[in-house]
Amino acid sequence: MAADDWASLLPRRLLVTGGAGFIGSAFVRLLLELPAPPRVTVLDALTYAGNRANLEPVADRPDYRFVHGNICDEATVEPLAAEADCIVNFAAESHVDRSILDPGAFIQTDVYGTFVLLEAARRHQHPRFLQVSTDEVYGDVPAPHRSQEGDPPRPRSPYAASKAGGEMQCWAYHETFGVPVLVTRGSNTYGPYQFPEKIIPLFVTNALDRRPLPLYGSGTAVRDYLYVDDHARGIAMVLARGRVGSAYNIGQGDEPIDGLSIARTVLRLTGGGDDLIHHVQDRPGHDRRYALDITRMRALGWHPSRDFGAGVAETVRWYEQRRDWWEPIKSGAFWDFYRRNYRPLAGAGAPP
């Protein structure tokens, strides 16, 4: 089978929840660029993180439809599931810092919402259900270990626990009702169209505006940074070729990178000085290290297309050119969150 033959194995009528977010929209754009694209319906509640502008490149496609609604609402989900042959669930509250400030919404969407979707997939006997999960379910991973799919979940933040809860529902529905679930556990993802609250887009947009970069603690916590298009393609390949009942780690698989190096790289690429680095109070319960073993994805024929240097340079160029996309986002409600989250520090960069 040729390397890109996976596309012919995709389900033909997809319901993509959370498709107006960062990774979900990259997934939708990728699918609709394929030579024989499936039909795609996006269901998205358009929370603060959802943005229809992320789907503008496909907005006029006849094989694409957008539905504004909540995955927790069974009446909304039911008719959409009835006409689909697969649900791919990206919908989630996704930011760790917000889960520390307001955990309730995470339980609602990430756990209860996943249950509503599983029930719909069960009723309609979909041949596949893909849950987009995260490497955060493994919790803090001491060096030199790399998490393998069989490792036990040890989530340590409200976000990670809610994602683990959603996953547990998937495994239970697989065992008990035979729902054909697949789970992907992606690593820390970056690239175009990412809401500027996560480290890379926050640091890039702050650096472009010469605002301080708020680095948690000493900046030594490390993550496996993965370019968004690679993550999206990995999810599509698992959907096409993955073994039902299995989890798949999707990550760069290189040596994980610390926060201080991210800050310095961003400043070098944006022409800002190191004096913009602002050490701030650490995140409570901050996981020090995530690292993934990606052997299973490699066996599926997937590998990352870019190293971090190339991916981050491309990302900085995109944010330089797309102020029209991110400047409206970094306004009112964004700065309210920013002040709450970085409150204990002076001068973290929010406007007065």
| Interaction between residue 20 and ligand DAU (CB under 6 A) | no
How far is 194 from 317, CA to CA, in rounded Å?
A: 14
Number of residues that bind ligand DAU (CB under 6 A): 20
Give the nearer residue to ligand NAD in terms of CB position, either 85 or 135. Answer: 135
Query: Among ligand NAD, ligand DAU, none, what does residue 45 contact (CB within 5–8 Å per kind)?
Result: ligand NAD
d(CA 303, CA 253): 9
CA angle 267, 273, 275 (to 5 degrees): 115
Task: Check binding of 259 to ligand DAU (CB under 6 A).
Answer: yes
Instruction: Please give the residues from 118 up to 137 whose contact with ligand NAD meets the rule CB under 6 A.
Output: 132, 134
Does 249 bind ligand NAD (CB under 6 A)? Our answer is: no
Q: Which residues of 288-312 are buried (b: 16+ CB within 10 A; e: fewer)?
A: ebbbbbbebbeebebebebebeebb
Q: Which is nearer to ligand DAU, 38 or 165 (CB)?
A: 165
Tell me if 278 contacts ligand NAD by CB under 6 A: no
> For ligand NAD, which is the closer residue by CB, 76 or 345?
76
| R_g of the chain computed on alpha carbons | 19
Q: Which two tokens stand for residue 146?
A: 């790399």
Query: CA–CA separation, 300 vs 241, rounded Å?
Result: 7
From 264, 268, 277, select the one nearest 215 (Cα to Cα): 277
Which C-beta is closer to ligand NAD: that of 252 or that of 276?
A: 252
Residue nearest to ligand DAU (CB): 134
Residues 78-107 that bind ligand NAD (CB under 6 A): 90-92, 94
96 touches ligand DAU by CB under 6 A = yes
138 CB contacts (<8 Å, ≥6 apart)? 147, 151, 153, 154, 185, 290
Give the residue numbers annotated as catalytic, written as ranges: 135-136, 159
List residues binding ligand DAU (CB under 6 A).
Answer: 94-97, 134-136, 187-188, 198-199, 202, 214-216, 221, 223, 259, 283, 290
